[in-house]
C-alpha cells in the first residue's frame, strides 16, 4: 500500500564523550551526527529494507547534507525533505549526567526543522503512502501540526495505518490545544509505542492495566510498551501479551534506542512478521543502537540485526 512516511524534525547532534554535570566537564564533544527522533526512526525503517520516506526540512548548509546523505544511503526517499534557504539545520547538543540522565541544548525553534509545511510534493507522497509514523513531540512545532493533521486524514481515508510514539516526557507541559491534538492522534493510532510513563500519560489514567484498557477502548489496535534495559511488552486487543526480554549489552549512548526499536518493529510488522518476531527485531535494533555512540549510528540492517540476535544473550 505504499511507503512508510515519517514527518518531523531533522537535526544534527553533537555528543559528549564523557560523563559530566556540565558541558565543560563533558569534553570532548563529537559530531555532527544525523539525528532527530523522526529521522532516526525512518533511518531504521530504510536500513531494514522497508520502503520509507521522510518529510521535514534542513538548512542550505553542511549539517543539512549530513542528514540527507545519510538517509539516502539508508534507502530512504529524501525528495520531500525541503531545503530552507533562510534558516540553518536544527541542532542538539547532548551530555550525560553522573546520575545517568541526559541534558540537551536544542536549536530547533529558530531552525529549518521548525519551518517545513504542506506542499504539492508532500501531498503526492502522502497520497501514495501506506503508513504514517508521528512522534508526539512534533505537535509542539506549529508548521508540523498542519502537515500531520492533513497526512493523518489522507492516510487513514485510503486504508493506510498510523503509528504514534508519544515521545512526550511528563515534565513537559502541553497547552490545551496540543493536548487535544495529542489525544486525537492517539485515538487514531493503529500502533502506539510509548515508553515508561508515556503509557499512562497517553491514556490520561494511572495504572498500566487501566491505561491499556482505556487505549483499546478509544480505538488503538496494538500497543508496544518500551522499558529500556528491562525490555518491551506487546499488548493486543484480544488480550494477548508478549514480554520481550532485553538483549544484554553495555550501554554507551542511550539516544535513539526507542526510535530504532519503533522503526524496526513497525517495518517488520509491515513486512508481514508476527508481533513476536517483530519484537525480537525491535529489541535487537534498540539494544544494538545503544552500544554505538551517536543517535542513529547503530541502526542495523537485516544482516546486522540477525548477526546481533545470534550472538547476544537476553535477560532471563
Ligand atoms: P525510548 O528511547 O523511547 O525511551 P527505550 O529506552 O525504552 O525507549 O528503548 C527502546 C527499546 O530498546 C527497549 O524496549 C529495549 O528493547 C531496547 N533497549 C534500550 N536500552 C537498552 C539497554 N540498555 N539494553 C538493552 N536493550 C535496550
**What would the pLDDT profile of 11-49 be if each residue is shown by its tens digit?**
999 999 999 888 888 889 999 999 999 999 999 999 999
Q: What is the pLDDT, as a whole number, of residue 168? A: 80
Q: Can you give 100-161 as a three-state secondary structure string?
A: CCEEEEEECCCCHHHCCCCCHHHHHHHHCCCEEEEEHHHHHCHHHHHHHHHHHHHHHHCCCE
Distance CA 238, CA 221 (A): 9
Query: Which atom of ligand 1 lies at the shortest distance from residue 285's CA?
Result: 12
Q: Is 298 left (phi over 0), alpha (psi -120 to 50) or beta?
A: alpha
Residue 10, helix vs strand vs coil: coil
Q: 167: closest CA among 45, 9, 32?
A: 9
What does the alpha-carbon distance between residue 122 and residue 54 come to, in Å, rounded to a whole number?
10
Q: How far is ligand 1, taken at its centre, from the CA of residue 306, in Å?
A: 18
- Identify any residues that bridge with 223 across adjacent strands, giving them in sequence order: 192, 235
Among the residue ranges 54-58, 100-104, 198-202, 245-249, the one predicted with the least confidence is 100-104
Query: What is the distance between the alpha carbons of residues 189 and 45, in angstroms, rounded to a whole number?
Result: 18
Computed over every residue of the chain, the mean pLDDT equals 95
Phi and psi at 119, nearest 5°, equal -150, 170
Smallest CA separation from ligand 1 atom 10, residue:
258
Asked whether the ipTM of the predicted complex exceeds the cut of 0.85, the reply is yes
Pocket residues: Cβ below 6 A from ligand 1: 195, 226-229, 231-232, 246-247, 249, 251, 254, 257-258, 261, 283, 286-287, 290
Verdict on whether the full-model pTM lies above 0.90: yes
Amino acid at each position: 500500500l505504499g511507503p512508510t512516511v515519517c514527518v518531523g524534525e531533522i537535526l544534527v547532534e553533537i555528543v559528549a564523550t564523557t560523563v559530566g554535570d556540565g558541558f565543560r566537564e563533558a569534553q570532548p564533544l563529537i559530531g555532527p551526527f544525523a539525528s532527530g527522533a523522526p529521522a532516526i526512526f525512518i533511518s531504521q525503517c530504510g536500513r531494514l529494507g522497508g520502503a520509507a520516506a521522510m518529510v521535514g526540512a534542513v538548512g542550505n548548509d553542511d549539517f543539512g547534507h549530513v542528514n540527507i546523505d545519510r538517509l539516502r544511503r539508508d534507502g530512504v526517499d529524501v525528495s520531500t525533505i525541503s531545503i530552507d534557504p533562510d534558516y540553518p539545520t536544527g541542532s542538539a547538543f547532548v551530555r550525560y549526567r553522573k546520575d545517568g540522565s541526559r541534558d540537551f541544548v536544542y536549536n530547533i525553534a529558530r531552525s529549518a526543522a521548525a519551518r517545513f509545511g504542506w506542499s504539492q510534493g508532500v501531498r503526492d507522497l502522502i497520497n501514495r503512502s501506506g503508513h504514517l509514523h508521528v512522534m508526539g513531540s512534533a505537535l509542539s512545532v506549529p508548521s508540523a501540526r498542519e502537515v500531520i493533521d492533513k497526512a493523518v486524514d489522507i492516510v487513514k481515508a485510503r486504508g493506510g495505518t498510523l503509528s504514534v510514539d508519544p515521545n512526550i516526557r511528563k515534565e513537559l507541559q502541553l497547552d490545551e490545544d496540543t493536548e487535544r491534538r495529542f489525544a486525537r492522534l492517539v485515538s487514531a493510532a493503529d500502533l502506539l509505542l510509548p515508553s515508561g510513563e508515556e503509557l499512562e500519560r497517553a491514556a490520561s489514567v494511572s495504572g498500566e492495566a487501566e491505561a491499556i484498557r482505556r487505549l483499546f477502548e478509544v480505538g488503538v489496535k496494538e500497543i508496544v510498551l518500551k522499558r529500556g534495559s528491562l525490555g518491551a511488552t506487546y499488548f493486543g486487543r484480544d488480550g494477548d501479551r508478549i514480554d520481550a526480554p532485553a538483549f544484554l549489552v553495555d550501554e554507551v549512548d542511550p539516544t535513539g534506542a526507542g526510535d530504532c526499536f519503533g522503526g524496526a518493529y513497525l517495518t517488520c510488522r509491515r513486512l508481514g512478521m508476527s508481533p513476536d518476531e517483530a519484537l525480537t527485531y525491535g529489541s535487537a535494533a534498540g539494544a544494538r543502537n545503544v552500544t554505538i555512540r551517536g543517535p542513529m549510528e547503530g541502526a542495523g540492517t537485516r544482516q546486522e540485526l540477525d548477526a546481533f540476535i545470534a550472538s547476544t544473550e537476553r535477560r532471563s
